[in-house]
């Protein structure tokens, strides 16, 4: 079975020689029907192969969508399980502290508290202002800004000139 590339190469080669075929037809050396049948055959084979490849694309798109849906479902389940763990640990910790227990041991579990320290930012706006005013950017995590493409397109289409950005026309293949 020939590939789409091979068929398209044959089609391009045939079209590149159209002038020669026309000259042969006009000279009576090549019947018009032979030319028409050859062209129709190549076009039909090309169309069939494009259609077959499009079906493969649709199968892959369906798999991508199914995997994305499964990924979202797993992420929701993972988040729910993490929240359940946090709630249950908080519940156990609250109950043990209320009972004055620092440790508990059973045949299946050993529970104890471990001292630790953590930072709590109680006023994020005040902290941010302080860090910037005092040159303490080392205390900040800054992410790189990325262009808001939808907003840029909207602004350009509204007549605004945006340096370094243009709205370009694209041809996106649609397979339904």
pLDDT along the chain (176 residues), means of 10: 91 91 90 93 95 95 97 98 95 94 93 91 95 95 92 96 94 75
pLDDT at 127: 96
The answer for residues whose C-beta is within 8 angstroms of residue 175's C-beta and 6 or more apart is 54, 57, 58, 61
pLDDT at 13: 92
- Alpha-carbon separation of residue 171 from 53, 60, 98 (angstroms): 18, 20, 66
CA-to-CA distance for 114 and 108, rounded, in angstroms? 19
Phi, psi at residue 100, to the nearest 5°? 75, 20
Q: Count how many residues are written for the chain.
A: 176
Provide the 10 A C-beta neighbour count for residue 155: 15
pTM > 0.85: no
Q: Do residues 49 and 11 make contact, with C-beta atoms less than 8 angstroms apart?
A: no
CA-to-CA distance for 39 and 169, rounded, in angstroms? 32
pLDDT at 134: 96
CA-to-CA distance for 138 and 58, rounded, in angstroms? 49
pLDDT at 36: 93
């Amino acid at each position: 079975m020939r590939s789409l590339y091979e068929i398209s190469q044959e089609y391009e080669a045939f079209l590149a020689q159209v002038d020669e075929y026309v000259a042969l037809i006009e000279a009576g050396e090549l019947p018009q029907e032979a030319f028409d049948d050859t062209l129709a055959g190549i076009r039909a084979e090309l169309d069939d192969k494009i259609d077959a490849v499009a079906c493969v694309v649709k199968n892959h798109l369906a798999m991508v969508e199914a995997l994305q849906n499964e990924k979202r479902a797993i992420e929701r389940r993972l988040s729910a399980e993490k929240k359940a763990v946090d709630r249950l640990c908080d519940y156990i910790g609250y109950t043990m502290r209320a009972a004055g227990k620092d440790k508990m041991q059973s045949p299946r579990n050993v529970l104890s508290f471990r001292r630790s320290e953590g930072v709590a930012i109680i006023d994020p706006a005040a902290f941010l202002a302080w860090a910037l005013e005092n040159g303490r950017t080392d205390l900040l995590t800054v992410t790189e800004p990325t262009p808001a493409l939808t907003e840029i397109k909207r602004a350009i289409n509204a007549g605004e000139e945006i340096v370094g950005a243009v709205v370009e026309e694209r041809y996106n293949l649609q397979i339904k």
